Amino acid sequence: MGGGIGGLTAALSLLRRGIDAHVYERAAELSEVGAGVQISPNASRVLHGLGLADELARTGVKPVALHQRRWDDGRTLARTPLAGPLEAAFGFPHYLMHRADLLAALAARLPAGRVRLGHRLTALTDHGDRVEARFANGARVEADVLVGADGIHSATRGLLFGPERPRFTGCAAYRGLVPADRLTGLGLETTTQLWMGPGGHFVHYFVAGGRLVNFVAIKEQDTWTRESWTDRRDVAEALAAFEGWHPQVRAIIEAVDETYLWALFDRAPLRRWSAGRVTLLGDACHAMLPFMAQGAAMAIEDAATLASCLAAAGPGPGVQAALRRYEAARVPRTTRVHALSAAGKTRYHLPDGPEQRARDAELAGGAGGLSLDALAWIYGHDATA
């Protein structure tokens, strides 16, 4: 269930392993709200294996560095080489992409008729030798395995383990896409730039083959009382939230036509993802803050590992054991990444003072949490093994 990045990657991975797979998506069309996504080597390894290397090279951008900077004066806190050194170390590139480009590339690789739109899951029944899914449009489907890749609002998760509301993390993000030609006067490098400041941080990078600049401007707030997680907001409001920040940060915000304010929610990591012939994948089981840029990558890894486990088991009674192996392989890793992502809220948002100076000294010494050495356990992972 679910036609997002994780669900489409799972379908492609299963088909590549000779396993029949279909995608059931509740929306009337496959779409992504305009935003960027980072595809680190642990994820691009999987996507290259699915035949997407040319498309990623065409629509993605390879950053030359991760540049961490101070919020007000722009001072460099750390600069981690990416591009060539990253690919040499881990064997695959790091891409910066528009989510819609990645989704389109995945969908284009699927055979015709594999994605069924307008199917909202309402019930499921595990019959022991098969699982039956029922949808709001009256359709019924039987399968050997049902995979809930249906996001943080996962209906599959609710049907398996009961209702549970996502948690507001105390952060909200202004997001926007700016035509790159509006920002030529800034002389922006092809880097991921992370600006850290009191109570917030700002990230920007090129996407869409370099035609657009994506930004995410995150600020802490105590509560979220709106019904929607995403609201269109005035650009002036975003500028006010980043009053006093470096002129480059403010110039990028000023150049956008429209900005959206997103509430950032997560879920407590599940210790158990599977029940019988049903399992979960991606945000349905480990929705996390975006502060390690690994949410999509973890879903892509889940898809590859799930396909490997099911292919090794074959059809029949081995399916349930395969789902247990999948869960055992993925839970410790995704839980660790989830914790690091949550810790970024404190680390990136320190007020000026002793703790901030200690963090900056650590970054200057090359021992920060986003150095290549510190991230080797993430970037070097082979989820297809």
pTM for this one?
0.95
User: Which stretches of the chain score pLDDT less than 70?
Assistant: 32-34, 225-229, 315-316, 368-369
What are the tens digits of pLDDT across the range 49-77? 999 999 999 999 999 999 999 999 999 99
Q: Do 217 and 92 form a contact (C-beta atoms < 8 A)?
A: no
Q: Do 281 and 330 form a contact (C-beta atoms < 8 A)?
A: no
What are the tens digits of pLDDT across the range 312-371? 987 667 899 999 999 999 999 999 999 999 999 999 999 999 999 999 999 988 776 677
Tell me what the pLDDT averaged over the chain comes to: 93
- pLDDT > 90 in the chain, percent: 82
What local confidence, expressed as pLDDT, does residue 34 receive?
58
- Max CA-CA distance within the chain? 63
Cite the active site residues.
205
Residue 296's contacts (CB-CB under 8 Å, 6 or more residues apart) are 5, 6, 37, 38, 39, 43, 99, 102
